[in-house]
Amino acid sequence: MTATIIDGKARAAALREDVAGEVATLKRDHDVTPGLAVVLVGEDPASKVYVANKAKQTVAAGMVSFEHKLTEETSEAALLELVAHLNADPDVDGILVQMPLPRHIDTDRVVEAIDPAKDVDGLHPMNAGKIVLGRPGLVPCTPRGCVILAKEAIGNLAGKHAVVVGRSILVGKPVSLLLQNENCTVSMAHSRTVDLPSLCRQADILVAAVGRQEMIRGDWVKPGACVIDVGINRIPAPEKGDGKTRLVGDVAFEEAVEVAGAITPVPGGVGPMTIACLLANTVTAARLRRGLPAVDL
Amino acid sequence: MTATIIDGKARAAALREDVAGEVATLKRDHDVTPGLAVVLVGEDPASKVYVANKAKQTVAAGMVSFEHKLTEETSEAALLELVAHLNADPDVDGILVQMPLPRHIDTDRVVEAIDPAKDVDGLHPMNAGKIVLGRPGLVPCTPRGCVILAKEAIGNLAGKHAVVVGRSILVGKPVSLLLQNENCTVSMAHSRTVDLPSLCRQADILVAAVGRQEMIRGDWVKPGACVIDVGINRIPAPEKGDGKTRLVGDVAFEEAVEVAGAITPVPGGVGPMTIACLLANTVTAARLRRGLPAVDL
């Protein structure tokens, strides 16, 4: 058996198109153009690429992109002042402060300073709490992408046993709560789990979010399961030439693809969903802030 | 095999004593007497008994109890005004609005109006979010009582497989997150779970919080497991006389006690822990509000 490959790139493109449609509706019916402000502190090369992509896709969806690039030496006070300014700016619907921040800045303090109604990364404790309480709020982007791809592959998730490996606050914990809100039975596993392989073998939906290359082997996968691989690990690829590298996930893809019913590739699986979900969150924030009901994106 | 009966009454009494000790320390070293304000709207007889118990135990621990009894007809606006007043009152460290509220009042709005730093019930989204993010905050009382009793029975919980049956926002969801923060592998089960008995049979720690009398049978329990029964169901007890009733849990106690390693009885298990944890939260709130480090209660 060979698994269906879940095409995250295509699903993300479809979501971005839906977002663009909603942006057009907001303009036409309410004279509103959603705006996303992205704040980058310092010169981290990966962050710079990521921020540039976000800005490009924001504009492509018909929204306004505000970019704030600050030097590595920016003080926490200056960053907090900028956040306060963006909180107060009526043209800004979403605020994203690119992580990681320089060490001299308290990340938690910055995140908590963002107006929860503009927290399109879904990292503010108010938004984390709303997931627990099952209330509408802004949901973290990568976890939401995982749920969308699982639905894409197997439809209704109710009653499925989901095993989430990894309990980071960015992915593992929120994805567990979102899957529970989809009426899955959810097991949350991690480095302290006893006999992880046999727990994984119970999973109808297996979410790997540990950040360890190819840790989850083919024989940990239940035949026919849906495998969502959140890992993005860069490893040497001498076969491509001297000093070359390639990306692999947290799942041993070549093994798992023979057992699973559906699986996300790396790259091209969960990765592309993150920015698409960020754009969707910006539309949601723009609507909720104006008292308009959220639309299902 | 007959299980050890976990004595929640004794554990709660010990916790209340620890709280009283911390209250004495706060008075002596900082001239602070923690204060707990309890707000009761309406005439629900069970709520009246519960509020009276809270007030009595608050005073017994050396703290100040403020009681606010409002009529059933109180408007939401008047209740919100009282909450704002209590938020601003420096003598009030903890605010508890007794649930359920009359139907004409929006419970979520009232809970969100409470200053999260005084939310000793741990119901505010900010506090729910802090559990997800693993940050210090005020933790809901009954879930915290469950974790304390599990530790009382089996010590360190790391690596244990906990199965939580029921996903209410008052008990099931927060206890899942607290057990995960104790390094348990946690499975969250509910009415949509397929083959619940066999999932339960994997549990080293089985938490029953469904509100259905004796739903969890003895043969759902793994031999030697720790069973925490949160259910409090009142059933007819004709054997005690005409019209008499008795309390039973969500677990079929007489069956489970023969299989489990340790089990909480109903009554006398989780129940007494709730108010004791409320008092502990009030001390924590009093300390954190003044910039003092939390003490381990």
| Interface list for chain A against chain B, based on CB atoms closer than 8 Å | 108, 124-135, 137, 158-159, 161, 167, 169, 173-174, 176-177, 180, 183-190, 192-194, 199
Q: Which residues of chain B make contact with A133, given a CB cutoff of 8 A?
A: 125, 128, 169, 173
What contacts B273, CB < 8 A, 6 or more positions away?
A: B8, B11, B12, B15, B141, B142, B144, B145, B146, B148, B149
CB spacing of B186 vs A190 below 8 angstroms: no
Considering only CB atoms, A169 lies closest to which of B134, B159, B193, namely B134
* Beta carbons within 10 angstroms of residue A247's beta carbon: 16
Alpha carbons B273 and B277: distance in angstroms, whole number: 6
Tokens of A61: 């969806």
Q: Which residues of chain A make contact with B137, given a CB cutoff of 8 A?
A: 125
One-letter amino acid at B33 equals T
User: Distances from the Cα of B249 to the Cαs of A155, B142, B162, B224, B253, in angstroms?
Assistant: 37, 15, 19, 19, 8
Percent of chain A with pLDDT over 70: 100
Alpha carbons B10 and B148: distance in angstroms, whole number: 12
CB spacing of A159 vs B124 below 8 angstroms: no
Q: Are B207 and B256 in contact (CB under 8 A)?
A: no
Alpha carbons A282 and A86: distance in angstroms, whole number: 14
Tell me the mean pLDDT in the region A157-183.
Answer: 97
- pLDDT tens for B198-251 read 999 999 999 999 999 999 999 999 999 999 999 999 999 999 999 999 999 999
Alpha carbons B105 and B90: distance in angstroms, whole number: 26
Q: For residue B95, list its beta bridge partners.
A: B37
Q: Which residues of chain B make contact with A137, given a CB cutoff of 8 A?
A: 125
Q: Is B249 exposed, middle or buried (0-12, 13-18, 19+ CB in 10 A)?
A: buried
User: Distances from the Cα of A210 to the Cαs of A214, A232, B184, in angstroms?
Assistant: 10, 10, 16
Alpha carbons A137 and A128: distance in angstroms, whole number: 9
Alpha carbons A202 and A237: distance in angstroms, whole number: 33
Does A168 count as an annotated binding residue?
A: yes
What is the per-residue pLDDT for B1?
65
CB spacing of A133 vs B125 below 8 angstroms: yes
Q: Which residues of chain A make contact with B193, given a CB cutoff of 8 A?
A: 159, 161, 185
How many alpha carbons lie under 13 Å from residue A224 in its C-beta half-sphere? 5
Q: Which phi-psi region, left, alpha or beta, contains residue B88 (left: φ > 0; alpha: ψ -120 to 50)?
A: alpha
Alpha carbons A123 and B157: distance in angstroms, whole number: 28
Q: List, by residue number, the catalytic residues of B.
A: 54, 98, 121
Question: What is the rounded average pLDDT for all residues in chain A?
Answer: 97
Query: Which residue of A lies nearest to B167 if distances are taken between CA atoms?
Result: A180
User: Distances from the Cα of A186 to the Cαs of A174, A224, A256, A263, B249, in angstroms?
Assistant: 12, 18, 21, 19, 24
Query: Which residue of A lies nearest to B133 if distances are taken between CA atoms?
Result: A169
Q: Which residues of chain A make contact with B180, given a CB cutoff of 8 A?
A: 167, 173, 188, 190
Considering only CB atoms, B159 lies closest to which of A173, A180, A194, namely A194
Alpha carbons A16 and A18: distance in angstroms, whole number: 5
What contacts A152, CB < 8 A, 6 or more positions away?
A: A6, A11
* Beta carbons within 10 angstroms of residue A297's beta carbon: 17
What is the per-residue pLDDT for B136?
86
Tell me which DSSP letter residue A32 carries: -
Query: Which residue of A lies nearest to B194 if distances are taken between CA atoms?
Result: A159
Does B167 count as an annotated binding residue?
A: yes
Specify whether A54 is catalytic.
yes
Q: How far is CA A77 from the centre of its chain?
A: 28
Torsion over CA: A176, A179, A181, A186 (sign) = negative
Interface test with A, best of B108, B109, B110, B132 (most A CBs within 10 A): B132
- pLDDT tens for A202-212 read 999 999 999 99
Q: Are A119 and A127 in contact (CB under 8 A)?
A: yes
| Interface list for chain B against chain A, based on CB atoms closer than 8 Å | 108, 124-135, 137, 158-159, 161, 167, 169, 173-174, 176-177, 180, 183-190, 192-194, 199
Average pLDDT, 10 consecutive residues per value, chain B (297 residues): 94 98 98 98 94 97 98 98 98 97 97 98 96 92 98 98 97 97 97 96 98 97 98 95 95 98 98 97 97 91
Concatenated DSSP letters of A183-220 = T-EEEEE-TT-TTHHHHHTT-SEEEE-S--TT-B-GGG
- List of domains in chain A: 29-117 (3.40.50.10860), 141-271 (3.40.50.720)
Counting every residue, how long is chain B?
297
Question: What is the rounded average pLDDT for all residues in chain B?
Answer: 97
What is the per-residue pLDDT for A136?
86
- pLDDT tens for A66-94 read 999 999 999 999 999 999 999 999 999 99
Query: Which residue of B lies nearest to A175 if distances are taken between CA atoms?
Result: B132
Specify whether A115 is catalytic.
no
CB spacing of A185 vs B190 below 8 angstroms: yes
How many alpha carbons lie under 13 Å from residue A284 in its C-beta half-sphere? 23
* Beta strand A94-97 pairing with A161-165: unpaired
What is the per-residue pLDDT for A1?
65
Does A269 count as an annotated binding residue?
A: no
Does A166 count as an annotated binding residue?
A: yes
What contacts B117, CB < 8 A, 6 or more positions away?
A: B138, B285, B288, B289
Q: Which residues of chain A make contact with B198, given a CB cutoff of 8 A?
A: none
Query: Which residue of A lies nearest to B185 if distances are taken between CA atoms?
Result: A189
Percent of chain A with pLDDT over 90: 98
Nearest to B115 by CA among B127, B130, B103, B106: B127
Considering only CB atoms, B126 lies closest to which of A129, A134, A176, namely A129
Tokens of B152: 């009382």
SS (H, E, C) chain B: CCCEECCHHHHHHHHHHHHHHHHHHHHHHHCCCCEEEEEEECCCHHHHHHHHHHHHHHHHCCCEEEEEEECCCCCHHHHHHHHHHHHHCCCCCEEEECCCCCCCCCHHHHHHHCCHHHCCCCCCHHHHHHHHHCCCCCCCHHHHHHHHHHHHHHCCCCCCEEEEECCCCCCHHHHHHHHHHCCCEEEEECCCCCCHHHHHCCCCEEEECCCCCCCECHHHCCCCCEEEECCCEEEECHHHCCCCEEEECCECHHHHCCCCCEECCCCCCCHHHHHHHHHHHHHHHHHHHCCCCCCCC
